[in-house]
Every structure is written in structure tokens, then in C-alpha cells.
Amino acid sequence: MRSGPIWIVGYGNPLRGDDGVGQEVAMALLQQKYSVGGFASATITCAHQLLPEMALDISRSRFAVFIDAAHDGRPGGSVSLQLLDQPREPGPWQPSGASCWEDFTPANLLALSRCLFGSAPAGAVVTVGVVALGLGMGLSPQAQAAIPRAAAAVGLAISAVAERPDAVLQSSISWRSGYKVAPHTRGAERA
């Protein structure tokens, strides 16, 4: 079993409406950490976007969680959890579909960690369906209401996967929690 902290990032642009929900979920987790001691072993961070510098911290973690908004036609406020396999094969890093840092995906980052630092954990992506990505701060009521469920999904991913690295749990997570496990796609209207 890998050692190191759980690494969690909530990312997105808080000046573009629901695009900021990832950061809001991360801040909710931070509140839990400092108020009731939840996620005690986690490093929780907020960011505008995924960056290659994160690959170093990820390589030293035992599990990585990415929290993001998703504009893929799902109902606003719906929560999705996707599991990412640990990159095991050595080889060149080939970011799929990425032409700039704004398109950097969680899978790219895990692969970059493996390529550069020889080590990468498995991961999970928790996404919240968006209602609006217009200019301005503040979440839609649907996205706001989804924060506790998204935080719970993070907790579920950590407890079910990080603590049981050898188990294939995708279907069981779907059954236990009722969370939809879906491919992670970035919104076409990402700021």
C-alpha cells in the first residue's frame, strides 16, 4: 500500500459561476478538517486549473482526488464519481487531448507524475453538474446544494479505494452510494 497523504484539489474559476464549485467543495472539506478533524490525513488545495507543478505532490501521495465542475448535459447539481487507475506502465507521457494547461486532465496529471517522478497513485474525480457558467461570482442553488454530496463522494472514494488499493470497486461504489460513475469530461464552456 502506498504511503503519504491523500491529495485533494478542488479547481475551477470562481468568477465564472458554477465553474467555481470545485473550489467550494474543497473549502468545505477544509472546514471539516479544521472543525471536526475530518480528512485529517489529506492535503487539500484550491486552484484555478490543474498545473504540472501538482505532479510532484501527487507523486508523493497515496491517493489523489480531483473535484471539478462538469458541463456535459447532466442535471445541474448532480454529483458524479469516476475512478482513475494507478498509472503502472512506464513510458512517455502523452497528454490526450491537451493543447494547453487549461485542458490538463486528472489522468494527464497522474501520467505526468509517473513519467517524471516514477510514481503515481490511483485517483478519483468528483464532478458537479453545472447550471450556468456566466461571468460573476456565486453558485447556482443547485450547485450550492450539491456541495455536501460532493464532499461525501470524496470521503467515499477515499474510504472505499484509498484504504483498499487492490479492490476493483467501481460497481460497488455505484451500488452503495447511488452515485453515478461516469467518464469525466471538461465543460465546453470552461473559462
26 is a site residue for another protein (CB under 8 A) = no
Interacting residue with another protein among 28, 112, 126, 158 (CB under 8 A): 112
Tally Cβ neighbours within 10 Å of residue 164: 11
90 is a site residue for another protein (CB under 8 A) = no
Interacting residue with another protein among 2, 5, 27, 115 (CB under 8 A): 115
CB-based contact 109:55 (threshold 8 Å): yes
Pairing of strands 63-70, 6-11: parallel
CB-based contact 119:155 (threshold 8 Å): no
64 is a site residue for another protein (CB under 8 A) = no
Pairing of strands 79-84, 123-129: antiparallel
| Nearer of residues 112 and 156 to another protein, judged by Cβ | 112
Q: Which of 21, 119, 112, 122 is nearest to 64 (CA)?
A: 122
56 is a site residue for another protein (CB under 8 A) = yes
Give me the least distance between CB of 12 and another protein, in Å please: 12
Residues that bind another protein (CB under 8 A): 46-48, 52-53, 55-56, 92-95, 98-102, 112, 115-117
